[in-house]
Chains A and B, each alone.
Chain A
Amino acid sequence: MRKNLIILLLLIIALTLPLYTGVYILHIFSSILIFLALSLSWDMMLRTGQLSFGTAGFFGLGAYASVLIVVKMGFNPILSLLIGAIFSGLIAFILGFIVLRLREIYFAITTLALTHVFSVIIRNFSDFTGGASGTILANAIFEGDPVKIYYLILIVAVLVIIISEVFKRSRIHYAINAIRNDEITAKSSGINVFKYLLFVFVVTSAIQGLVGAVYAHQYAFVNPESTFSLNFLLLPIAMALVGGIYSTNGPIIGALLLGLISEYLKLIMPYGHLIVYGLIIVFVVLFLPRGIYSTIHNKLLKSNIIGGDKNANTASK
């Protein structure tokens, strides 16, 4: 009950934010929500035990697909966001048949290499994609109205949160957990490992494509350097780690915390404010392997402050 109240409260705050803040704050929260969605999608893939470094790649593919379809074919911008998601999902579906055979370090490295391959291909098809200088949209989505853009990003973020929760509460959750804990046992108990991995890979890639499309339309341009920037890989990972992996709440808390800290640091330290991400990743890997959310949650559970909420406990594991 208390949990529902908190969610409701947060949703109301998020919905009414444009009423009492300026453009600057809205912009900060827009970018936090973008990274929140990326972070959740990365975590959803990690829940299957596969460490994907392809977040930036599918982000960039979605961005390019949606921008190019508007520029070259005059699509409706809102519809083109969906095209971005579908395109990324489709590429993930095709590549999944090859890439998902790999495990651990090889999966991680191959997805990272794919990100580079995507950006090289896009840079070299310069007739179609604009090459190294990129493509500029005539106009940002909603004529660049920050409030409308904020609501669009909020819708995307809430959608991703809902998908993540559906994954947590449905049968998929058990299959995914079983695959992560012991793939051979999962296989021998009749779980079609490849099918589930492919499903999660396609869904998370489509999310990344959608987020990329929204991001590209917010700033009205794409270019290989900045669209395939490894920031779209590193920052979401750091956020998920800080909050706590394998949960929905973890990445949300991580994104809010790191987003606000780095925004503040950017003001006092123009060069190198990202160092805080590196320090936090190292610190969390070494000392808090379960992340902030899970650590605090477990402490509270032990001291019986929020006892009885068994569902949440299993969910955070």
Chain B
Amino acid sequence: MSFSLNKSYKVLLLLVIFIVIIGFWNPNALLDGLQRGSLYSLIALPLALVLGILGVLNLAHGEFLTVGLYFIFMLNNRFNLDPLVAIIPTVIFLLILGAIIYWLTIKRVVKEGHLSQLLLTFGISLILIETINIFWTSMARNTYTSYSYASMEVGGFRFGTYELLYILIAVLVLVGLQLFLKKTRLGQATFAVGQNPKGAKIVGINVNYVYLFVFSVAVAILGIVAGAMLPRTAIFPEVGSPFTLKSFALAAMAGMGNLNGILFAGVTLGIGEAVINSIPNYGGWSDIVFFGVLIIVIISRSYRGAR
């Protein structure tokens, strides 16, 4: 399935060339694209993890992000907690929420067909959106932090520094996940379950526990993303929804189970989006990048017989 795992170096080289060309032509778009791209891949990583290990496409993925954003917003609003500090309680909250939701619902459909999985997670996403609607109504809300619009100047070129944080966090989360999967016992068990659940069960791995763990960790990672996003994003109940499909686009493009590929794919598409966005009068077309790529990738895969 994966097309960039074996040719990782070539892809990396192509990516670097691509970045350099864009950098000379339109540095603003490059920076914007890098930031967008790392945010997208940061959100896509947990989705790919759940998709790769549980085999469940979680359509409520973006809504968990929304829940994280609102939780941090509430902490910020009520207790005046800085969004970046509020990441810690939010991660714990989402970990528990993810575990509860897995235990009550997802657990029962892991072994069933894709139809019930998609419909169930669709239902969960609707419940999450509407719960937020009940508590906060559909009004858009903002938070203010002193640092979110800080900027820096290098050689006459001015850019915002806050969003560089996305790149840093994306790399940190990716490295952390890789280390976890390769070095720890639980990580290796997770890897084994992802490859062959039956075999993993035979050698004594508690598959159900691994599933529970992976799902809740995937939801909890979104807490980190939410903390980083909140200072720059106006939130409303559907704020996370577009990210579900975009994340799936990245996961499909990188190939199932290829976590590094997601960062490459995310940065490439992010830059593509930013470049189109920067063309005057045609900026609106940038939304089509992800969906177009998603459709092209899925269909070209089907033509190669990998349905």
A positions within 8 Å CB-CB of B:
51, 98-99, 101-106, 108-110, 112-114, 116-117, 120-121, 123-124, 234, 237-238, 241, 269, 271-275, 277-282, 285-286, 289
Q: Is the CB of B245 within 8 A of A105?
A: no
Chain B: CB-nearest residue to A283: B123
How does the 8 Å CB contact mask read for B247-261 relative to A, with 1 for contact and 0 for none?
Answer: 011001000000000
Q: Is the CB of A281 within 8 A of B284?
A: no
Q: Is the CB of B116 within 8 A of A113?
A: no
Complex Cα distance, B105 from A123, in Å, reads 37
Chain B: CB-nearest residue to A46: B115
Chain A: CB-nearest residue to B248: A109
Complex Cα distance, B30 from A57, in Å, reads 33
Chain A: CB-nearest residue to B119: A285
Q: Please give, as numbers and ranges, the residues of chain A lying within 8 Å of B20 by CB-CB distance.
A: none
Contacts of B287-302 to chain A: CB distance below 8 A = 287-288, 291-292, 294-295, 298-299, 301-302
Q: Please give, as numbers and ranges, the residues of chain B lying within 8 Å of A110 by CB-CB distance.
A: 294-295, 298-299
A124-B285, A269-B134 known; A116+B127 contact, CB < 8 A: no
Q: Please give, as numbers and ranges, the residues of chain A lying within 8 Å of B118 by CB-CB distance.
A: 51, 105, 108
- The range of chain B's interface size is 35 or more
Q: Please give, as numbers and ranges, the residues of chain A lying within 8 Å of B82 by CB-CB distance.
A: none
A98-B299, A109-B245, A278-B124 known; A272+B291 contact, CB < 8 A: no
A105-B57, A120-B288, A285-B109 known; A272+B295 contact, CB < 8 A: no
CB distance from B127 to the nearest CB of A (A): 4
Complex Cα distance, B113 from A289, in Å, reads 12
How does the 8 Å CB contact mask read for B141-172 relative to A, with 1 for contact and 0 for none?
Answer: 00000000000000000000000000000000
Main secondary structure of the interface of A (DSSP, over half): helix
Q: Is the CB of A274 within 8 A of B126?
A: yes
- At the interface, yes or no: B307 with Cβ under 8 Å from chain A? yes
Q: Please give, as numbers and ranges, the residues of chain B lying within 8 Å of A99 by CB-CB distance.
A: 299
Q: Please give, as numbers and ranges, the residues of chain A lying within 8 Å of B26 by CB-CB distance.
A: none
CB distance from B98 to the nearest CB of A (A): 16
| Contact partner, B134, options A98, A121, A271, A289, Cβ 8 Å | A271
Complex Cα distance, B132 from A278, in Å, reads 13
